[in-house]
Chain A
């Protein structure tokens, strides 16, 4: 069912040598999930290879977010196999993963509503999970500061989340997710609650991560951005993958009527 994402060399990143492997960091097979008897995901297959960026697009309520949340098992699938970094973590509705915190440190996640811890400063937000993962205090702090610089909010490092703008909060959240050196980053509509200026800030940070070769799975409504950075675009509707492929194909010359309809409503003018 799933085609390995091997077509990506033709996209924007041709200047870099193609990654030597096509090792999948995330592999999802036959994933089914229902809430209260309503089927939200229906036999979905998805692979994210190392160094690749996969965008999932589709209408709200179509199952994209649930799909993403199954990767770090914030949602438990009813059926199917989930493999992260070469290890099966969930199979046929059974938890196979013995080390759930370990899995979640392998998979970083950025939420739509940031979900920063409001009672501690930005830099403490980035330190907390590192300390719990056993990183020594000085290293954790240095890494937090370096990451906050990298996302451009170091000058606000000692502010509480409430005192930060939405764009700053989301950039701190990205630094927090990066702090554990995850093998893949999940972005769940990271700009949906941001104004255009903040969206621009956050997307520019994500673009830099993409250029550095970070593996990313992205649920987004920012179709031009998905077109620009993704290696692979997946259109999900009604819990199924309707269409997937290279971003220019899916977003510009979609094969399915349903995809065309969606793109027309979302006014993808890119």
Chain B
């Protein structure tokens, strides 16, 4: 063991924590951006107006068929040579956002159109407006459908932040490279860096699986739904306890 582990890790502790924080920041900012842009592209793709659909389709196809690394280079070096100099964090996040938004838009589109048409009709027949139908009927069901794919993308995005090593983004992988060049202990360093990625991704994906299961089981997660179900429970105490058909009770 002592043969393999010779890097003075305690010297690098605070640098590693900074790098970890940087990786998490890239992940969170890019994922939020990618979800928002992905949702916008999905909605454009489902629009009635064909130009909107065409723009959205073009976007999706372009960014799905270019390697992420090429996008990163374009955003950081390419735009800089054209006079638009982005800082590393902005260029890194922008690349991840445009790349993952393309995939997420496909997931969201199929989830939204996967909600049965009868659901919209039921919402209409109940006098819910367009926004009400989307927010209370379509979106929650689409989230349920989109969750597995979206979760996979989140973990994938976290791992892809390591590609930002190519623009020295000061995240985990870049830190690993720095430590390696100082210690020449590539095997040890990259094993440790990999272990850190694993320690981030594994619990995250397990947590997301748990979330998926809860959502599929219809467990009320939002505070207002919880409050409503709890209040209903109180009102229904007699009915739920008896378990019997109480039709006569209120006629």
| Residues of A near any B CB (own CB < 8 A) | 72, 74, 100-105, 107-109, 111, 113, 115-121, 123-124, 127-129, 132-133, 137-138, 141-142, 144-146, 148-152, 154-155, 157-158, 160, 176-177, 180, 208
Chain A residues whose C-beta falls within 8 Å of the C-beta of B132 in the assembled complex: 132
A119 touches B121 (CB 8 A): no
Nearest residue, chain A, Cβ from B218:
A160
Does B228 belong to the interface (CB within 8 Å)?
A: yes
Closest to A146 in B: B250
0/1 interface trace, chain B 117-141, chain A, CB 8 Å (1 if under): 0110110111111001000110011
Closest 3 pairs (CB-CB, A-B):
A152-B247, A115-B122, A129-B126
Closest to A128 in B: B136
* CB <8 Å contact, A111 and B122: yes
Q: Considering the chains assembled together, what is the distance between the CA atoms of A177 and B121 in angstroms?
A: 13
Q: Sample 19 A-B pairs with CB under 8 A, ordered by A number.
A: A74-B121, A103-B127, A104-B126, A108-B125, A121-B229, A123-B232, A123-B236, A124-B225, A124-B228, A132-B128, A133-B127, A137-B231, A145-B232, A149-B246, A149-B247, A149-B249, A150-B251, A152-B245, A154-B236
* Interfacial chain A residues near B245, Cβ < 8 Å: 152, 155
Q: Contacts A101-B127, A132-B127 hold; do A154 and B239 have CB atoms under 8 A apart? A: yes
Task: Please judge, given known A-B contacts A115-B121, A121-B218, whether A158 and B233 are in contact too, CB under 8 Å.
Answer: yes
Most buried by A among B118, B126, B240: B126
Number of interface residues of B (CB under 8 A): 37
A129 and B127: CB pair below 8 A?
yes
B126 pairs with A152, CB closer than 8 A: no
Minimal beta-carbon separation of B176 from chain A (angstroms): 43
Q: Does B62 sit at the interface, judged by CB under 8 A? A: no
Cβ contact within 8 Å between B231 and A141: yes
- Cα-based distance from A36 to B124 in the complex (angstroms): 23
- Can you list, as one digit per residue, whether each of B140-160 has a CB less than 8 Å from chain A (1) or not (0)? 110010000000000000000
The answer to whether A158 touches B125, judged by C-beta atoms less than 8 angstroms apart, is no
Q: Answer whether residue B66 sits at the interface, using C-beta atoms and an 8 A cutoff.
A: no
Nearest A residue to B125 via CB reads A109
B199 in contact (CB, < 8 A): no
B235: interface (CB < 8 Å): yes
With both beta carbons as reference points, the residue of chain B lying nearest to A112 in the complex is identified as: B118
Beyond A115-B119, A160-B218, whether A155 also contacts B246 by CB under 8 A is: yes
Q: Assess A151 versus B122: contact at CB under 8 Å? Given A119-B218, A132-B136.
A: no
Query: Residues of A contacting B240 with CB < 8 Å?
Result: 155, 157-158
Q: Are B229 and A72 in contact (CB under 8 A)?
A: no
Pairwise interchain contact B119-A155, C-beta atoms closer than 8 A: no
Do A120 and B246 have beta carbons less than 8 Å apart? no
Q: A74-B121, A104-B125 are in contact. Are A158 and B225 (CB under 8 A)?
A: no
* Interface: B243 (CB within 8 A): yes
Which residues of chain A have C-beta atoms less than 8 A from B231's C-beta? 137-138, 141
Taking a contact as CB atoms under 8 Å apart, the answer to whether B243 and A155 are in contact is yes
Q: Which of B118, B125, B144, B233 has the most CB of A within 10 A?
A: B125
Task: Please give the distance in Å from B124's CB to the nearest CB on chain A.
Answer: 6
Q: Is B244 an interface residue (CB 8 A)?
A: yes
Question: Do residues B228 and A118 form an inter-chain contact, with CB atoms below 8 A?
Answer: no
Residue of B116, B232, B243, B244 ringed by the most chain A CB atoms within 10 A: B232
CA A120 to CA B222, docked complex, whole Å:
12
A213 to chain B, nearest CB (A): 14
Q: Is the CB of B126 within 8 A of A128?
A: yes
Interface assignment of B242: CB less than 8 Å from any CB of chain A:
yes
CB distance from B244 to the nearest CB of A (A): 7
Residues of B within 8 A of A123 (CB): 229, 232, 236
